[in-house]
Amino acid sequence: MVTVSELENARPEQLEGSARAARKVSVDLGEHINRTSRAWSALQATWYGPDAHTAGANLHHHRLDLTQARLAYGRIDSALSDFAGELRQAQKLLKSALARADGIHATVTDDGTVRVSDEVMKGKSSAERANIKAQLKTIADDIAKARTRAVTADRQAVAQLTGVSMPDGPDIDATPLLKDVPTDPQLVKKWWDGLNPDQRVALITADPKRIGGLDGVPAIDRDQANRLYLDNEQEQLAARKRAAQARIAEIQRLGDQGKGSPALLSEALELQKKIAGFDEKAKQLNHFEEKLNESDPRSSTERRFLLKFDPAGDGRAIVAVGNPDTADNVATFVPGTGTTIADDTNLFNRGAIMQSDATLRDPTATTSVITWLDYEAPSFVSFGPEPGPATTGSAETATDLAQFQNSLRFTHEGPRSRNTILGHSYGATVVGYVADRQGLDVDNIVFVASPGSGQGLAGDAGDFRKGLDKDNRLRVPTVFATRAENDPIQAVSGAGGGLAGTNGPDPTEEGFGAKVFRSDPGTTLLPRPQGDNRGEWGYGGAHSDYWNGPNNPESIYERPQVNEARDNFSRIITGMDDQVTVDTPTVHRGRIAY
């Protein structure tokens, strides 16, 4: 067992430095792989025959070795980053305990024994002596927890590093391994645990998209697979652009030779349009990758994990700040209308803000916040003929979100985590719809600025399907809700006039049964810029203010103080329900005018 002085003097910053160095090697290897691929693509245009075939086969094996090395350094980065984070939390808990010991003039030995001298107890009443003894026990317990946490983190890091597979391992054909892969997350976890490190690397390398999107695969492995898939997509975009440019050059040569035609000219123009599209998509993916690799995002010291990625259309992604498989608190944030992978505020910033806030709220616990954008968020709040989210693929969305959320229980290590799901705007309606129809194994459901709970109009907080605990006992999630006084979403929420109610009941209303908590009133709507005719509500306003605070500088409505809703988010996520500032449930006032 680590001693008190050893834990006090531990240097997590050294581990973080080593993690950053491993991360840089992994990134550099990825760039080298891409450069090698580009060079080979150019060479293939002019080199044919048996020698070219042999060179291509050798280069393929070389790329596999480089990819395996890249994944190995990525795993080293994850192991050391997680270890450093856990060590910091253990030190914070120890520091707090030692400060309390000083406060009652107690001494702490290196083995964690806490005692006070007879002189301290002298003259104390029985009640005072009992109080001091109770404090001594609490302090000793916290010191023991801190030491145990450090030792556990050390063992986990050793296990992760021992499992790193380097390129000198055997070549493994992943094709047989990809047959009959289970889809149930619990079975996926069992299947993945039964593979050796070399087999896992082979699977990630062979089919990163499939492995990266498989619920039940641990977060570290999904992150590696999805980052590899992202790199592959970027390289394929570049390859398609090069092919289009080569064809345009060929058409130009034909024209110079007098062999041009209207059809060839039309083809060249279409190719130029495609190149513009490739450039735009490449710009989007490059920015997405930069945000993934951002250090110290929004004051959070945790690294990001890419748990799913799909570049098609506007793009889909699941991004976690902190490792959900090892965190004490795990929150899933579902953003609303207009969110795409190009939306930094919803996809990256708000999750990082909530993770940082939760860590400040409870430094003794680790927190991971996941942003779930694995659905096509509509461009505006939509209204269907029946209550619930009126979006294409609602049933599919419900299944995907429920399966992902519930799979977090199977991949989590250690004691059961406190899991919260929080939806904003239309994302809150999606959360309610899923909880009502599929069931979510969560401790808390949080509605923020919701246009409706996603249920039938007679639904309430007690109707959500309950998740099961580890002993298959029904768990009752606590339902929270908030809406700012100036938030225009109230015009379409609940059972009021106009279009109100078509997305289900208003979670902040009397009778729904949610614990309604306070938010700042929020800013009133600003007029839209001249020529912008996208609706009557105007621009921004309180609907976007819930995360306002010092480390959220992109908001044009920035205030120096933290929005009260944001404070309450961190209290809910960390289990401090008794500190949540309550508000009075609303009585719907019908459509409001701005």
CATH code of 153's domain? 1.20.1260.20
Backbone angles phi, psi at 428, to 5 degrees: -70, -40
Indicate whether 479 and 505 sit together in one domain. Answer: yes
586 in any annotated domain: no
Residue 467's pLDDT band (cuts 50, 70, 90): low
Q: Are residues 34 and 71 in the same domain?
A: yes
- What are φ and ψ of residue 479, in 5° steps? -105, 125
d(CA 307, CA 313): 18
Alpha helices (H) along 293-444: 344, 350-361, 394-411, 426-437
pLDDT in tens, 319-365: 999 999 999 999 999 998 878 888 887 788 899 999 999 988 998 88
Which of 147, 169, 191 is the C-terminal boundary of a domain? 169
Q: Examine the domain organization and report whether 188 and 66 are in the same domain.
A: no
Q: Is residue 37 part of a domain?
A: yes
DSSP codes, 555-589: -TT--SSPPHHHHHHHHHHTT-GGGSPB-PPB---
Nearest to 343 by CA among 453, 461, 441, 427: 427
Tell me if 192 is assigned to some domain: yes
Summarised one tens digit per residue, pLDDT across range 372-382 is 999 887 765 55
Among 85, 368, 324, residue whose Cα is nearest residue 216: 324
Residue 205 has pLDDT above 70, yes or no: yes
Q: Please identify, among 269, 293, 317, the residue that sits at the C-terminal boundary of a domain.
A: 293
pLDDT-derived band at 385, boundaries 50, 70, 90: very low
Are 312 and 429 in the same domain?
A: yes
256 within a domain of the structure (yes/no):
yes
Per-residue model confidence (pLDDT) at position 494: 61
**For the chain, what is the domain count?**
3
Whether 528 has a pLDDT exceeding 70, the answer reads no
477 and 545, same domain (yes or no): yes
Tell me, yes or no, whether 501 and 387 share the same domain: yes
Task: Decide if 588 is inside a domain.
Answer: no
495 and 573 co-located in one domain: yes
The 10s digit of each residue's pLDDT in 530-559 is: 665 544 444 457 888 899 876 554 443 444
Q: Strands 304-310 and 329-334: what pairing?
A: unpaired
Mean residue pLDDT across the chain: 84
Listed in sequence order, the residues at least 6 apart from 537 whose beta carbon sits closer than 8 Å to its beta carbon are 488, 491, 525, 594
Whole domain around residue 495: which residue ranges?
A: 299-579
Residues 472, 525, single domain; the answer is: yes
* Residue 145, token pair as written in the block: 């927890």
Same domain, 417 and 466: yes
Statement to judge: residues 400 and 480 lie in one domain: yes
Residues 346 and 432 in one domain: yes
Whether 476 has a pLDDT exceeding 60, the answer reads yes
Domain termination site, one of 135, 169, 203? 169
Evaluate whether residue 590 is within a structural domain: no
The reply to whether 179 and 74 lie within a common domain is no
Q: Is residue 521 domain-resident?
A: yes
Is 591 part of a structural domain of the chain? no
Q: Give the pLDDT confidence of 146-156 residue by residue, as tens digits.
A: 999 899 889 98
pLDDT band at 218 (very low <50, low <70, confident <90, very high): very high
